[in-house]
Amino acid sequence: MKKLNVGCLVLFLTFLIVVPFQVGAAATPTFSGLWNTNMGELQIEIAGNKLTGFFPISSRKIEGVVVGQKCGGVWSEPPTYRAPNDAGRVEVTLSNDGKQFVGKVFDSSGKETGIIEAERPVSEPGVALSGTWATTVGDVSLKRVGTQLSGVHYGLQAVISGSIDANGKIAFSLLKEGKILAKVVGSFVGSGRTFKGWWSEPPTHTPPNEAGRVICEFLPDGSFSGVIYNGQDKVGVTLSGKRK
C-alpha cells in the first residue's frame, strides 16, 4: 500500500476549515432584471447602488438609490418628465427571496397616489400553450415552436404572431389584413399558471383608453378564467374557456 502523504492531508484539511464549501448558498436578492408589475412590464438595471427602470408601454422611468433591499427615488413620465405633473417619488422594498417587490408612489407634493406591486416572471409557463381553446370571445388556436408563437383568433378573424423569450416574457400581436388590432405583453408568474400582462391597441397604445391590464388564471383541468381591464382598474371584459 502506498504511504499516505501526511503533509498533503493536513494541507487539504486546513483548506476545508479556512475555505468551506458554499453548497446551496443563496444568491443575494436584487432589483435587477425583468418584472411583471401592476403598471406594466418593467426592466431594471443596477450599477453600483444606482437603480434605473423603464416601463416600455407608458415610457415611465424610475431612478433611485438602493440601500439593502429598499430603494427610494423618483418616477417620471411623458411629456415633460418633470414636476409638478410628470414626476414624483417612489419607495419600494424587495422581498427576501428577490421574487417580489412592493412600494408606494407619491406625486411631487408628497401625496400618496398609488402602489406598485411586482413579481418575477417564471422562465417557463406551467401551461402548455399549444392547442385550441374554446373561449367566450371565440375559438383560439395557438402553436408554440421554440421561442415563436403563432395562431388564429377565430372570433376576431385575426392572426396571432409573437414570441416568448428566455426570461419568460411573452409578446404577441393580433393582426387582421396586415394591420395590428391589438398587442399583448406579459408573463406567467407564481406557480406558472397565472398570466399577467398588458393589452394595447391603436392608435396610441397607451392608457387609460387604449391600454390596460389583463389577468388569466389557468387550472390543471385545462380551463381558464380572466379579466381584461380598461385603464388599470376598471373591469372591461371577463373571459373564460377551456382547452378542446
Instruction: State yes or no: pLDDT of 14 exceeds 70.
Output: no
pLDDT tens figures, 187-228: 999 999 999 999 999 998 887 888 899 999 999 999 999 999
Q: What is the pTM of this model?
A: 0.83
CA distance 212 to 198: 5
Residue 127: name the closest of 217, 46, 62, 45 by CA: 217
Top CATH class of 33-119 equals mainly beta
Rounded (5°) CA angle 61-103-226: 85
8 Å CB contact between 121 and 167: yes
pLDDT tens figures, 38-53: 998 999 999 999 999 9
- At 150, list the grid cell: 403563432
8 Å CB contact between 215 and 202: no
Q: What percent of the chain has pLDDT over 70?
A: 89
Per domain, the residue ranges of the chain are 33-119, 131-243
Lowest mean pLDDT among 4-18, 44-58, 69-83, 148-162: 4-18
Residue 136: name the closest of 231, 223, 234 by CA: 223
CA distance 185 to 214: 9
Position 26 scores a pLDDT of 52
The set of residues, in sequence order, having a beta carbon less than 8 Å from that of 68 and lying 6+ positions away, is none
8 Å CB contact between 244 and 130: no
Strand stretches in the chain, DSSP E: 33-37, 40-47, 50-55, 60-67, 70-76, 87-94, 100-106, 112-119, 131-135, 140-145, 148-153, 158-164, 170-176, 179-189, 194-200, 211-218, 223-230, 234-243
Domain 131-243 bears CATH identifier 2.40.128: yes
Burial 125-149 (b: 16+ CB within 10 A, else e): bebebeeebebeeeebebebeeeeb
Using the Cα atoms of residue 204, residue 209, residue 213 and residue 217 in order, give the sign of their dihedral: negative
Residue showing cell 502523504? 5
